[in-house]
Amino acid sequence: MADAALQSPAVVSGRRAPAQAMRSEAGVAWLLAAPAVLAYLAMILLPLLAVLALAFTDYEFGARSFRWIGFANFADMASDRTFAASIRNTIVYCLFVAPLSIGIALGLAVLIEAGARGRAFWRAVFFLPVVSLTVAMATAWQYLLHPSIGPLNAVLRLVGLGTPNWLGSSDWVIVSLGFIGVWENVGFNLVLFLAGLTAIPRELYAAAEIDGARSGWSKFCLVTWPMLGPTMLFVIIITMTRSVRVFDTVQTLTQGGPNNASEVLLRTIYQEGFHYFKFGYSAAITLVFLAIVLGLMLIQTRLIDRRVHYG
C-alpha cells in the first residue's frame, strides 16, 4: 500500500505512454495498409468466395433466381467431352512447353553469362517475346504457319518434306501452339536464370578448379547446378503455372479448333461463362483449375524443395 501511494501520477502516465504510442503506431499502420487490404478484398478474396458459392448452383447470366444443386456441376464434368478434351490438351501443352522452355532458357543463360560481349543485346533479343502482345503477334504467326503461303512450309517444300496444316490439323495444332508457347516462355525464364547465375560467387568456380574441375561441364555440375536450385524451383513453378493458364494464344489463333483439338482449360471456362452464360458450371471448372494449380505447386515444392541448396 505504501509503495502504491508513493507512485506519482507522472510515473503512471509515463508507463502508459509506450502503450499509447504502440496503439497509435498500429493505427497508422492499418491506415497505410487499408488501400492494399481493400484492394485484396475487392479484387481477390470476394471474387474467389463468389466463385466458390456459384460453383454449387445452376446460376446463368441474366437469371433472376438460381438453385443450389450441390455437386451436380462437378458430376456433369465427367460426361462433358469438351471439358475432357481441355484437360487432356492442357496437360499435353504443359508437358511440351515447360521442359523445352526451361531447358533452352538454361542453356542460353549459361552461354550468355559465359560470353565476354553482347550480354545486354542477347538479353534484350530473347526477352522481346515476353513484352510482345500475343494478339499483335497473331498475324505474324498465322502468316509463318500458313499451309500454302507460309515461309515454314515453303522451306519444307524446298527440301522435299511434307507441308502440314499447322493450325488447321488436329494432329499438329497442339504441337504448333506448344512451339509458340516455348517461344513466349524462353525469354522470361532466361532473365530469371541470368539473375541466378549472376548471384553465384565466382570464388566457388575457382575453388572447384583447384579441386580438379577443369572443364565447363564439371563446373556446371559441381557449382552452377546446385547453386541454381532456388532459381530452378521458382522457374519450374512459374513456367508450369503460365503453361496451365494458356488462353490468349489459343483464343487468337485457333479458337479451340479444329474439333476441340486445341481446347484448353481456361478457354473452356471462358466459353461456358461468357459464351453460353452458364456461370455456375464455369465457376465449378474454375475451382478444378485452381485445384490443379495448387496441386502442381505443392508437388513441386515438396519434391524439389528437398533437393534445393540454399546458399
Return the C-alpha cell found at 250. 489459343
Cβ proximity of 250 and 138 under 8 Å: no
What pLDDT score was predicted for residue 10?
A: 52
DSSP state of 306: G
∠ CA 301-302-304 to the nearest 5 degrees?
Answer: 65
The structural domains of the chain, ordered by start, are 74-307 (1.10.3720.10)
Contact 69, 59 (CB under 8 A): no
DSSP per position, 154-183: HHHHHTT-----TTT-TTTHHHHHHHHHHH
Closest CA to 174 of 227, 243, 103: 243
- The C-alpha atoms of residue 145 and residue 164 are separated, in whole angstroms, by 9
Per-residue pLDDT 10s for the chain (311 aa) are 445 544 555 554 555 567 677 777 888 888 889 999 999 999 989 988 999 999 999 998 878 888 999 999 999 999 999 999 999 999 999 999 999 999 999 999 988 887 757 677 777 788 778 777 777 788 888 899 988 889 999 999 999 888 899 999 999 999 999 999 999 899 999 989 998 988 888 888 888 888 887 788 888 888 888 888 888 888 998 999 999 999 988 999 999 989 999 999 999 999 999 999 999 999 999 999 999 888 888 887 777 666 665 55
Task: Transcribe 103-115 into DSSP letters.
Answer: HHHHHHHHHHHH-
Distance CA 92, CA 66 (A): 36
User: What integer pLDDT is reported at residue 1 of this predicted model?
Assistant: 46
CB 176 within 8 A of CB 258: no
* pTM score of the predicted model: 0.84
Could you give phi then psi for residue 68, rounded to 5 degrees?
A: -80, 115
pLDDT at 105: 94
d(CA 265, CA 247): 8
Looking at residue 14, its pLDDT comes to 53
Residue 168, all three cell numbers: 488447321
Q: Cα separation of 49 and 66, whole Å?
A: 17
User: Cα–Cα distances in Å, from 9 out to 12, 19, 23, 30?
Assistant: 5, 16, 21, 31
Number of neighbours of residue 286 by Cβ within 10 angstroms:
22
**Could you give the 3-state DSSP secondary structure of residue 118?**
coil
**Distance from C-alpha of 289 to C-alpha of 286, rounded to nearest angstrom:** 5
Residue 278 belongs to what H/E stretch? none
Give the cell for residue 28. Answer: 497508422
pLDDT of residue 166: 92
- As a whole number of angstroms, the distance between CA 190 and CA 156 comes to 30
Evaluate whether 164 touches 147 at the Cβ level (below 8 Å). yes
Q: Write down the pLDDT at residue 131.
A: 77
CA distance 248 to 112: 30
Cell of 141: 504467326
Which string of b and e fits 199-213 if b means at least 16 CB within 10 Å?
ebeeebbeebeeeeb
Contact 64/53 with Cβ under 8 angstroms? no
- DSSP code of residue 275: I
Number of Cβ within a 10 Å radius of residue 48: 13
